[in-house]
Amino acid sequence: LTVALVGCGGGGTATPQGSGDEEAAPADSGKVYIVGTEPTFPPFEYVDENTGEIVGFDIDLIKAIAERAGIQVEIKSMGFDGLIPALQSGNIDIVIAGMTVNEERAAVVDFGPSYWEAYLQIAVTADNEDIKSVEDLKDKTVGVQIGTTGAFKAEELKAQGLVKEVKTYNTVDVIFMELIQGNIDAVINDLPVTEAYMARNPGKIKLTGEPFEGEEYGYAVAKGNKELLEKLNAGLEQVRADGTFDELVLKYFGGE
Ligand code: GLN
């Protein structure tokens, strides 16, 4: 029941989809929590070409969590680098965006428990023969998304003289277009998302080198918003316990 309900849960808005939401939400009815995300990050969040709605693993997950927590949510698209400032200013209530938990971020917002493990990795065009590892980036231009761990990694490599130039983009779809068109030499991005772009552009992109150290994704709320975070965390526990989480993994990753 839950998976079907969540699966068709109407991406862009928090329109109550029948019984589940109405039953679950009496305590908090009225308040709609705004969830910020950056939807060029498949399969975690992306725009459904047919409906124009924001869908994906993260979106289904936060809707399922909200349903268990008895709150209503509405999804809002923003730039990745605007998500944390929007939480801080109160323009949004929750971030779910394949966002890696790190110290800098945890100093200014509060994260829930990790729900996904990912890695950064270098990607190049499928016909590229000269970039085989991070050592081969010295005279190369690397594309990254603004404000991401991939961008931090690329800047770090540049500071060490290991990358020639870092080009920063607002959205991940444009980075891979630029790669395919030959305007940048390589991309540093989250591995599962690069794989989704590989699937969308068959034969055009490949991974190279070793994955960098692991990262963990968490959703976030404004610093000190303990009440909301506890509701969400309890919701996540239920979503894990009742099998919904595994269903979503199956739906978006084919059972990884
Ligand atoms: N996981 C990376 C980060 O948190 C990238 C996230 C994203 O681009 N949506 O910086």
Q: Would you give per-residue pLDDT tens digits along the chain (256 residues)?
A: 334 333 333 334 444 444 444 444 455 568 999 999 999 999 999 999 999 999 999 999 999 999 999 999 999 999 999 999 999 999 999 999 999 999 999 999 999 999 999 999 999 999 999 999 999 999 999 999 999 999 999 999 999 999 999 999 999 999 999 999 999 999 999 999 999 999 999 999 999 999 999 999 999 999 999 999 999 999 999 999 999 999 999 999 995 5
Q: How far is Cα 140 from Cα 115, in angstroms, rounded to an integer?
A: 34
- Which of 41, 84, 148, 153 is the pocket-test mutation for ligand 1 (most atoms within 8 Å of CB)? 148
The model's pLDDT over 66-79, given as tens digits with 9 standing for 90+, comes to 999 999 999 999 99
Question: Which H/E stretch holds residue 238?
Answer: helix 226-241
Token pair of 225, please? 């918003």
Q: How far is Cα 164 from Cα 138, in angstroms, rounded to an integer?
A: 6
- Which residues, listed in sequence order, are joined to residue 74 by a DSSP beta bridge? 34
Q: Is 86 in the pocket of ligand 1 (CB under 6 A)?
A: no
Asked if 112 contacts 233 with a C-beta cutoff of 8 angstroms, the reply is yes
Q: How far is Cα 70 from Cα 26, in angstroms, rounded to an integer?
A: 7
Q: Indicate the Cα dihedral angle 248, 255, 191, 189, nearest 10°.
A: -20
Q: Is 220 in the pocket of ligand 1 (CB under 6 A)?
A: no
The model's pLDDT over 222-232, given as tens digits with 9 standing for 90+, comes to 999 999 999 99
Asked if 54 contacts 42 with a C-beta cutoff of 8 angstroms, the reply is no
**Comparing C-alpha atoms, which of 118, 253, 106 is closest to residue 188?**
118
Q: Is 41 in the pocket of ligand 1 (CB under 6 A)?
A: yes
